[in-house]
Amino acid sequence: MKIYIVGSIASGKSTLAKQIAKMTNVEFYGLDNVVHQPDKSNPWGNSKRSIEERDAMFNSIIQKDNWVIEDVGRPCFEEGFRQANKIVLLEIANLVRNFRIILRWIKQNLGIEKCIYKPNYNMLKCMLQWSKDYDLGKDKLKERLYPYKDKVVILSNYKDIKSFLNFCCNLPTNT
């Protein structure tokens, strides 16, 4: 089983990936951790890995027989679209995502939730802008998914997600 979960910031990608991983015993990978590494000397709290290191890490993940990966759908990880058995696009309403962004930011500032960046006001503004940019199609994610439309599943609410999780429980793995 190879599942690639994509969508806007705060659409629930990590949560869904963790649920699928737990239900299927397939390891999940958040590609933010492939792109960034913690770096306390950087004002953002992290720094980008070199392209070579990022690509080597990503390629080692997708070479595995089974995986669940989640990302905002960066173009540098398109090989994951090609190799995935299913691509899950989380199309969660903007209002829900923005609420989650603010709640996450508050929890991170209170130390309740960990992150690999500094949860300052500038980061909050960036996250809200990324959510807006997704809605405007600035990332061109949906265009890049079009060639894989036969294996794209769009989930937009809790009922869709629950049905998909029931489907995942019955998927065979290669191990």
What would the mean pLDDT of 101-112 be, rounded to a whole number?
94
Mutual orientation of helices 94-109 and 121-136 as an angle, nearest 10°?
A: 160
What would the mean pLDDT of 138-152 be, rounded to a whole number?
95
**Quick check: 25 and 67 in contact, CB under 8 A?**
no
If we measure between CA atoms, which residue out of 174, 170, 20 comes closest to residue 90?
20
What are the phi and psi torsion angles at 158 (to 5°)?
A: -60, -40
- Would you state the pLDDT for residue 74? 93
pLDDT(20) > 60: yes
Q: What is the percent of the chain with per-residue pLDDT over 70, rounded to a whole number?
A: 93
d(C-alpha 38, C-alpha 116), whole Å: 6
- Candidate from 88-97, 141-150, 158-167 with smallest mean pLDDT: 158-167
d(C-alpha 116, C-alpha 121), whole Å: 15
The string of pLDDT tens digits covering residues 38-89 is 667 766 677 889 999 999 999 999 999 999 999 999 999 999 999 999 999 9
pLDDT(30) > 90: yes
pLDDT(133) > 60: yes
What's the burial of 132, exposed, middle or buried (CB within 10 Å: 0-12/13-18/19+)?
middle
Query: What is the overall mean pLDDT for the chain?
Result: 91
d(C-alpha 139, C-alpha 116), whole Å: 22
The rounded Cα 55 to chain-centroid distance in angstroms is: 17
Residues whose CB falls within 8 Å of the CB of residue 170, separated by 6 or more in sequence, listed in order: none
d(C-alpha 100, C-alpha 161), whole Å: 17
What would the mean pLDDT of 5-19 be, rounded to a whole number?
95
- Would you state the pLDDT for residue 175? 43
What would the mean pLDDT of 82-110 be, rounded to a whole number?
96
Amino acid at 60: S
Query: What's the angle, vertex CA 66, arms to CA 173 and CA 69, rounded to 5?
Result: 130
**Number of H helices and number of E strands within the chain?**
8, 7
